Amino acid sequence: MAGAGAGTPAADGLARSRRGAVSLRQISKSFGPQSVLEQISLDIAPGEFLTILGPSGCGKSTLLRIIAGLEVQDAGSVSIDGQPVDHLRPAARVIAMVFQSYALYPHLTVLDNIAMPLRLSRLNLFQRLPGARYLNPGTRLVTAEIEEAARKVAGILRIEELLARKPRQLSGGQKQRVALGRAMVREPRVFLMDEPLSNLDAELRVHMRAEIAQLHRRLATTFIYVTHDQAEAMTMSDRIVVMMQGVALQVAPPKVIYEDPSDLRVARFVGSPTINVLPGRVEAGGGIDVLGGRLPLPAGLPAGTPVAVAARPQALALATRPAGPCLTGRLVHIENLGSDLFLHAAVEGVAAPLVIRHDPALADSPRLGDMVAVALPAARMLVFDSHGRRVALRAEATAARLAHA
Amino acid sequence: MPDSGALPAAAAVRTRPRHRRHGAVAAVLAGPALALILLFLIAPLACVALLSLTDYQLGAATLNFVGGKNYAEMFSDRVFQKSLTNTLIYVAITVPGSVLLGLGAALLIEADKSLRTFYRAIYFLPVMATLIAMSIVWEFMLHPQFGVVNQVVKVLGFARIDWLQNQSIVLFTLCGIGIWQSLGFNMVLFMAGLTSIPNDLYEAAAVDGADLAIDRFRLVTWPMLGPVTLFVIVISAIRSFQVFDTVQVLTKGGPNKASEVLLYTMYSEGFEFFRSGYASAVTMVFLLFVLGLSAFKVFILDKRVHYT
């Protein structure tokens, strides 16, 4: 690895690479009459792990492919490290991409697969012909360097013993590593990953999740990771972009996405079990009426405005000594996950049963069919207006301002 | 992969404890196909093999066993030697010609989506048309005086060519017609192969830096077309060995046996001179080549061509 060897401080974990700042300006794309991306703007810091999370068909893969240069946007521009790359071919953008299907070359060995990006960039057409290295000592030298680099990457990914195999002889996890190796070998400014774990079984997915996060820390390069799996997004990312119907709804760290969603759709999409949503109405006195109970929440909206009041399962609790607003429901389903017990209570006036997290260690676990009282702690409620936008409560508003500053 | 369908069944037979009953069921299920294969393929083949060892004449009441006499006569016969050589030359020119041109046409048509179905239909037309009828059209076109081909040659300022009467040209003329006829078939097979290549691979190649078309071809298209190419080559070779219609209509093996080919020899010996025994021996040689090609595909090439 001539030159490249010295240029791998990131791989050695010495210094955080300052390359790989990606900036998207008002990217729009439509396929025929259907708009897929609408005015997406995003700034990704060098070395950041950014996950684009959304349901299938939300445009997240299209956005990634536009960054890669595999798709051309209708409007807007992509810059990497301050330079617009819109006119550049994928390879010239110095990015790497890991595909959902891995897209390994089936006729080449693992070593050849990993070495291919370097062969294509460092050897010309004639030097790449079979046997060319026997004719020219210079070519031989470069070929040896390329192989050396490929072996080094294989060492990092612990797949050295697989180098002579063909892709069809590999398991899903091994193919995944080879695909990562092929991406790593050319030391790209940005790694783009399109649902790289979705073809693996559940156990391996959890394992590879940790491994990719580790790899990111080691390489300290920008990762842009597309997934529909909220667990992947929550566990690996520095920041998450939640996308729906071609719109970026919220860009924030995982904790903020989960605890402080700016949109009801974000709140519903992230979190398992799904967040509970109750119909509410702003009252004249400044509170919110939820199914007859009054929550002392200062929404600052005109009286009579319909709102949605949402609460995570762990924000709700069974009320033993009813104090404050409460809902009564019948237990229709109980899920015991060992660490958590999720009680599903059907409440009149709410379409879906409320899900309440309950500690299985508590002795007084209710039974199926019991009538239970559910306490609604006002402090842990999230309020959204009729468009699904988060309503800043007056008490919270100051805190939110502080957080944004 | 015709044998892949049988694999799960075979595996099931091996792993189940009551395999004997499964074996019986398998025999019953495979029975009809097996009987039909025996009746319509193996039995006639055996008959031809036996006939080739006799002096049977078409319509004769008796026949005598003559051992290898037919074969001995055949290999010392100048006409048969000429016929075999011509057939091999025909195959050696037609196969690469129709495979490479078919691949080229498929790549060109796939490269631009507009008018794709139109081009595909045009190129496929000769495959659909009866070769006998097409041969008559070629006969008109290749007429030394009035044929459109020689008219063009004349306009271009060259001397007229006796496409079908010149001994040293006639075989190549037939090769040209053979290529024209099978090009479309190969092209359609290649187009099917091209559409089944996952787009991810081209995108991976683009990200990896395969910017030149030749790089993408070498890295993705050609390796991924491996199974199709193998199939096309074997099919083209078998079809080329079967060349008959054009010879029968255009040249009758002439002039001076310059376009004599295996099947034509077989036909004229068997159905013009009624020497069925000798014709059977020629048929055996023909079958040997075809079987050899099939065996080559099944036992050697299938193992070296990766299927994803």
Question: Residue A120: which of B198, B215, B220 has the nearest Cβ?
Answer: B215
Check: CB of residue B109 under 8 Å from CB of residue B124.
no
Model confidence band, residue B13 (pLDDT cutoffs 50, 70, 90)? very low
Q: Which two tokens stand for residue A351?
A: 């379409």
Percent of chain B predicted with pLDDT > 70: 91
Question: Residue A90: which of B206, B220, B226 has the nearest Cβ?
Answer: B206
- What phi and psi, each to the nearest 5 degrees, are found at residue A354? -75, 140
Q: Which residues of A touch B201 (CB under 8 A)?
A: 103, 105
Model confidence band, residue A5 (pLDDT cutoffs 50, 70, 90)? very low
Q: Which residues of B touch A99 (CB under 8 A)?
A: 200, 203-204
Q: Which residues of A touch B208 (CB under 8 A)?
A: 91, 116-117, 120, 182
Nearest 5°: CA angle at A178, between A174 and A180? 115
Q: What pLDDT does B176 receive?
A: 92
How do residues B133-147 score in pLDDT, each as one tens digit? Answer: 888 888 888 888 888
Rounded to the nearest angstrom, the minimum Cα separation between A41 and chain B is 23
B266 closest CA partner among B16, B41, B87, B64: B87
> What is the signed CA dihedral for A53, A59, A62, A68, rounded to 10 degrees?
-40
Q: What pLDDT does B303 receive?
A: 66
Provide mean pLDDT across the span A379-402: 73
Q: What pLDDT does A239 receive?
A: 94
How do residues B39-90 score in pLDDT, each as one tens digit? Answer: 999 999 998 888 888 888 877 778 888 878 888 888 888 888 888 999 999 9
Q: What is the 3-state secondary structure (H, E, C) of A148-211?
A: HHHHHHHHHCCCHHHCCCCHHHCCHHHHHHHHHHHHHCCCCCEEEEECCCCCCCHHHHHHHHHH
Q: Which residue has the higher pLDDT, B1 or A330?
A: A330
Provide mean pLDDT across the span B218-239: 89
Number of cross-chain residue pairs from A and B with Cβ atoms under 8 Å apart: 68
Alpha carbon distance B229, B185 (integer Å)? 12
Q: Which residue has the higher pLDDT, A1 or A97?
A: A97
Q: With CB atoms and an 8 Å threshold, state whether A101 touches B198.
A: yes
**Whether the bond into B227 is cis, omega within 30 of 0:** no
Q: With CB atoms and an 8 Å threshold, state whether A117 touches B208.
A: yes
pLDDT of B4 higher than 70: no
pLDDT of B187 higher than 70: yes
Q: Which residues of A touch B210 (CB under 8 A)?
A: 91, 120
Provide mean pLDDT across the span A361-372: 81
Q: With CB atoms and an 8 Å threshold, state whether B308 touches A105.
A: no
Q: What is the 3-state secondary structure (H, E, C) of chain A?
A: CCCCCCCCCCCCCCCCCCCCCEEEEEEEEEECCEEEEEEEEEEECCCCEEEEECCCCCCHHHHHHHHHCCCCCCEEEEEECCEECCCCCCHHHCEEEECCCCCCCCCCCHHHHHHHHHHHHHCCCCCCCCCHHHCCHHHHHHHHHHHHHHHHHHHHCCCHHHCCCCHHHCCHHHHHHHHHHHHHCCCCCEEEEECCCCCCCHHHHHHHHHHHHHHHHHHCCEEEEEECCHHHHHHHCCEEEEEECCEEEEEECHHHHHHCCCEHHHHHHCCCCCCEEEEEEECCCCCEEECCEEECCCCCCCCCCEEEEEECHHHCEECCCCCCCEEEEEEEEEEECCCCEEEEEEECCCCCCEEEEECCCCCCCCCCCCEEEEECCHHHCEEECCCCEECCCHHHHHHHHHHHC
pLDDT of B118 higher than 70: yes
Q: What pLDDT does A70 receive?
A: 92
DSSP B164: T
Percent of chain B predicted with pLDDT > 90: 19
Q: What pLDDT does A8 receive?
A: 40
CA distances A173 to A149, A161, A178, Å, are 22, 14, 9
Model confidence band, residue B5 (pLDDT cutoffs 50, 70, 90)? very low
Q: What pLDDT does A263 receive?
A: 93
Model confidence band, residue B103 (pLDDT cutoffs 50, 70, 90)? very high
Q: What pLDDT does A395 receive?
A: 55
Mean pLDDT: which of A243-257, A384-398, B117-131, B214-228 is highest? A243-257
Partners of A358 in beta bridges:
A341
Q: What pLDDT does A276 receive?
A: 92
Q: What pLDDT does A372 receive?
A: 87
- β-sheet with A239-244: strand ranges across: A95-98, A190-194, A222-227, A49-53, A239-244, A247-252
pLDDT of A7 higher than 50: no
Which of A15-29, A354-368, B189-203, B219-233 has the weakest average pLDDT? A15-29
Q: With CB atoms and an 8 Å threshold, state whether A97 touches B210.
A: no
Model confidence band, residue B148 (pLDDT cutoffs 50, 70, 90)? confident
Question: Residue B306: which of A96, A99, A166 has the nearest Cβ?
Answer: A166
Q: What pLDDT does A403 receive?
A: 55
Model confidence band, residue B3 (pLDDT cutoffs 50, 70, 90)? very low
Tell me the Cα Rg of chain B: 24
pLDDT of A325 higher than 90: no
Q: Which residues of B touch A123 (CB under 8 A)?
A: none
Question: Residue A89: which of B200, B206, B224 has the nearest Cβ?
Answer: B206
- What phi and psi, each to the nearest 5 degrees, are found at residue A332? -105, -15
pLDDT of B203 higher than 60: yes
CA distances B161 to B143, B158, B166, Å, are 9, 9, 8
Provide mean pLDDT across the span A98-106: 91
Which of A39-43, A88-92, B156-160, B220-224 has the weakest average pLDDT? B156-160
Partners of A263 in beta bridges:
A389
Q: What pLDDT does A255 receive?
A: 93
Distance, C-alpha A42 to centroid of its chain: 14
Q: With CB atoms and an 8 Å threshold, state whether B209 touches A168.
A: no
Check: CB of residue A313 under 8 Å from CB of residue A392.
no
For chain B, what is the largest distance between any 2 Cα atoms, rounded to a whole number of angstroms?
80
Chain B: which residues have CB within 8 Å of chain A? 198, 200-201, 203-204, 206-212, 214-215, 219-220, 223-224, 226, 306, 308
Give one word for A69, left, alpha or beta, with left for phi > 0 and alpha for psi -120 to 50. left
DSSP B271: I
DSSP B2: T
Percent of chain A predicted with pLDDT > 70: 91
Q: What pLDDT does A158 receive?
A: 87
How do residues B249-269 score in pLDDT, each as one tens digit? Answer: 888 877 888 888 888 888 988
Helix axes B131-141, B170-195, angle to 10 degrees: 130
Model confidence band, residue A322 (pLDDT cutoffs 50, 70, 90)? low
Q: What pLDDT does A24 receive?
A: 92
Check: CB of residue A311 under 8 Å from CB of residue A376.
yes
Chain A: which residues have CB within 8 Å of chain B? 65, 68-70, 89-91, 95-97, 99-101, 103-108, 116-117, 120-121, 125, 166, 168, 182
Q: Which two tokens stand for residue B97?
A: 């010609």
CA distances A275 to A324, A354, B49, Å, are 21, 9, 80
Provide mean pLDDT across the span B126-132: 83
Check: CB of residue A293 under 8 Å from CB of residue A325.
yes
Say whether B54 sits in a helix, a strand or coil.
strand
Percent of chain A predicted with pLDDT > 90: 35
Provide mean pLDDT across the span B7-34: 69
Q: Which residues of A touch B212 (CB under 8 A)?
A: 125
How do residues B286-295 score in pLDDT, each as one tens digit? Answer: 999 999 988 8
- What phi and psi, each to the nearest 5 degrees, are found at residue A288? -125, 130
Q: What pLDDT does B8 receive?
A: 45
How do residues A159-195 score in pLDDT, each as one tens digit? Answer: 889 888 998 888 888 898 899 999 988 888 999 999 9
Rounded to the nearest angstrom, the minimum Cα separation between A32 and chain B is 17
Question: Residue A89: which of B211, B223, B308 has the nearest Cβ?
Answer: B211
Question: Residue A106: which of B206, B209, B308 has the nearest Cβ?
Answer: B308
Model confidence band, residue A355 (pLDDT cutoffs 50, 70, 90)? very high
Q: Which residues of B touch A181 (CB under 8 A)?
A: none
Collect all residues with Cβ–Cβ distance below 8 Å to B144 and sequence separation of at least 6. Answer: B150, B160, B161, B162, B163, B165
Q: What pLDDT does A397 receive?
A: 47
Q: Which contacts (CB < 8 Å, 24+ apart) does range A377-381 have? A: A377/A315, A377/A316, A377/A317, A377/A324, A378/A295, A378/A296, A378/A297, A378/A324, A378/A325, A380/A311, A380/A312, A380/A315, A381/A295, A381/A297, A381/A309, A381/A310, A381/A311, A381/A315
The sign one gets for the Cα dihedral B236, B240, B245, B246 is: positive
Q: Which two tokens stand for residue A238?
A: 């520095």
Q: Which residues of A touch B199 (CB under 8 A)?
A: none
What is the chain A residue with the closest CA to B221?
A105
